[in-house]
Amino acid sequence: MHFTQGSQDAVAKAPPEEIRSYVWFIAPINTDVIKFGSYEVDSDAGPVTVRFYQVQNERDDVIYQDTKQLVLVADEKGKPFVPTRYFTDNKGHYPCTAVEVRFSYKLFRDLLQRPDKPFSDADRERMELLGPEPMPEKIAALVATNRAIKKYGENKGRTISASEVTALVTVHEHKAAQQPLTKTISLVTTENAFKDAATEYYLGSAKDTLTLALASLRKAHPQPPTNEAELHALVLSSIDQVLVHHIETRRLIDPFWDGSRKIKVNGQEVEVPQSPKGETEIQPTLHVFLQMALEPFGIHVIRESDEGSGSLDFRFSTTTPASELVSAAAEFKLAQHKEVKAGISRQLPRYMDSIPCTHGIFVLMWFKDEKGKYFAEPKAHDLATTRSFLDNLASKPENKNHVIAVRVIDCSIRPSASELR
């Protein structure tokens, strides 16, 4: 994604000798292994100055300051929303190492323009073969930075790869006027940048514990599914070993609750207690967990899948070795929802018939604690009774070919281990 302020036409029309270019990015370099300062290096198109400097807070973070006001909305249905700051490479963590690369010439589109170095036939041949370089500014800045690292022995000689830098700011300035003609903010410049940002935002520290859970899942299912029943079993295993484990055992419940907050009512400050998030608000976190667990098996996790009769919460699909497309359906409901029975008895089976598939999963997110201190809905039921009730419904589907599994995940607030006596 690129956002440009100013006139690109003005940059394109300006003589190369009248323009200089700057690129800023956050480097994957610990602040204790770099000597901050400016370094001169040569490039094929002219001299370059590479400056390493430390950023102590968000006020001094060029990338953050230029992106904090952006609001990005995914145009793909069901794709998780991620706040823009998570697309920066330091994710708001300070101190960090920043790099400013100053070019005495114009970086523009496919050309590294310098008056005495015209675009060569070899350059044109390369472009005809490979197509235009998607981000020449990024590549030129990283090449110059790596030359400085190697020439001066910084970062213990370890260079930076293109995949480690996903966000940068490029400015083209008129030399005489010392005024910027354009500023371009570039985000998500690598293939996995969006997925990594979503993982950081929705999973936080849980991403570090996922490794063991995913290894256990691969051990239990060494081969991708070959039919719908095996797909169903694998999805259930991912729910049990990844979702249930992190939510119930490791108590990763914060992503599913809105924290308490203070508001003013008639001029008086009133504290609104924490409460469970709505279904659409918790789905992105579930999506990220399930996607991380199932993608290695070649399974597509499709959120809000349009099945004609409505939007299914999650559809899991894969192609078997026999080139057969198989799918399984999953509906997630909050336990306090008034249509829980209809969800498992009518809604999920209707989606299964629409796909069509014969295997489905009904997942209930439970927020009521034992004493109802933090949340007391549903008032008429407890956790054990609800599990038994849903298991009974799932065992007697109207369509005898349907196989429906039930999971009730306990997201309730509990006392910490240190508070138990």
For the segment 231-253, the average pLDDT, to the nearest whole number, is 93
In the block, residue with structure tokens 């300035």: 173
Residue 318 pLDDT exceeds 70: yes
**Which amino acid belongs to residue 196?**
D
Q: How many Å apart are CA 167 and CA 37, to the nearest integer? A: 22
Residue 122 pLDDT exceeds 70: no
Total residue count of the chain as it appears in this document: 421
Q: What is the pLDDT of residues 176-226, one digit of tens each?
A: 888 899 999 988 888 788 778 877 877 777 777 888 888 889 999 999 999
**Which amino acid belongs to residue 55?**
V
Measuring CA to CA, which residue among 47, 143, 148 is closest to residue 103?
Answer: 47
244: tokens are: 């249930």
Range scoring the smallest mean pLDDT among 44-48, 93-97, 200-204, 333-337: 200-204
CB 345 within 8 A of CB 398: yes
Residue 235: per-residue pLDDT: 97
Alpha carbon of residue 258 to chain centroid? 20
Residue 101 pLDDT exceeds 90: yes
Decide which of 335 and 11 is more confident: 335
Q: How many Å apart are CA 187 and CA 135, to the nearest integer? A: 11
Q: How many Å apart are CA 246 and CA 335, to the nearest integer? A: 19
Q: How many Å apart are CA 403 and CA 397, to the nearest integer? A: 8
Q: How many Å apart are CA 222 and CA 391, to the nearest integer? A: 29
**Residue 250 — very low, low, confident or very high, per pLDDT cuts 50/70/90?**
confident
Residue 416 pLDDT exceeds 70: no
**Residue 113 — very low, low, confident or very high, per pLDDT cuts 50/70/90?**
very low
155: exposed, middle or buried (Cβ count in 10 Å: 0-12, 13-18, 19+): buried
Helix residue ranges per DSSP H, 85-135: 121-130
User: How many Å from the N-terminal Cα to the C-terminal Cα in the chain?
Assistant: 53
The contacts of residue 375 (CB under 8 Å, 6+ apart) are 275, 276, 367, 368, 369, 412, 413
338: tokens are: 């008034």
Residue 115 pLDDT exceeds 70: no
For the segment 88-109, the average pLDDT, to the nearest whole number, is 88
Residue 341: per-residue pLDDT: 95
Q: Which residues of 89-116 are buried (b: 16+ CB within 10 A; e: fewer)?
A: bbeeeeebbbbbbbbbbbbbeebbbbee
Give CA separation, 156 vs 32, 94, 159, 367, in Å: 11, 21, 9, 50
Percentage of residues of the chain with pLDDT beyond 70:
86
Return the H-helix or E-strand segment holding 230.
helix 228-238
Residue 7: per-residue pLDDT: 86
For the segment 151-156, the average pLDDT, to the nearest whole number, is 91
Alpha carbon of residue 172 to chain centroid? 30
Q: How many Å apart are CA 356 and CA 378, to the nearest integer? A: 33
Alpha carbon of residue 280 to chain centroid? 17
**Which amino acid belongs to residue 401?**
N
Q: Quickly list DSSP for 151-179.
A: HHTGGGG----GGG---EEEEEEETTTTE
Alpha carbon of residue 380 to chain centroid? 38
Q: What is the pLDDT of residues 351-401, one digit of tens each?
A: 999 999 999 999 999 999 998 888 999 998 899 999 999 999 999 999 999
Question: Domain locations in the chain?
Answer: 2-189, 204-419
Residue 236: per-residue pLDDT: 97
- When the pLDDT of each residue in the chain is averaged and rounded to a whole number, the result is 86
Residue 420: per-residue pLDDT: 46
Phi, psi of 185 (to 5 degrees): -100, 125
Residue 293: per-residue pLDDT: 92
Decide which of 85 and 380 is more confident: 380
Measuring CA to CA, which residue among 17, 31, 46, 20 is closest to residue 143?
Answer: 46
**Residue 255 — very low, low, confident or very high, per pLDDT cuts 50/70/90?**
confident
414: tokens are: 């509990």
Residue 246 pLDDT exceeds 50: yes
Q: What is the pTM of this model?
A: 0.69
For the segment 6-13, the average pLDDT, to the nearest whole number, is 85
**Residue 86 — very low, low, confident or very high, per pLDDT cuts 50/70/90?**
confident
The contacts of residue 420 (CB under 8 Å, 6+ apart) are none
In the block, residue with structure tokens 């609800």: 386
Q: How many Å apart are CA 414 and CA 391, to the nearest integer? A: 25
Q: What is the pLDDT of residues 31-82, one digit of tens each?
A: 998 999 999 998 877 899 999 999 999 999 999 898 887 766 554 455 556 7
CB 337 within 8 A of CB 365: no
Residue 199: per-residue pLDDT: 78
355: exposed, middle or buried (Cβ count in 10 Å: 0-12, 13-18, 19+): buried
Give the three-state DSSP class for 7.
coil
Decide which of 307 and 265 is more confident: 307
**Residue 262 — very low, low, confident or very high, per pLDDT cuts 50/70/90?**
low
Measuring CA to CA, which residue among 365, 210, 351 is closest to residue 294?
Answer: 210
For the segment 324-329, the average pLDDT, to the nearest whole number, is 96
Q: How many Å apart are CA 188 and CA 303, to the nearest integer? A: 21
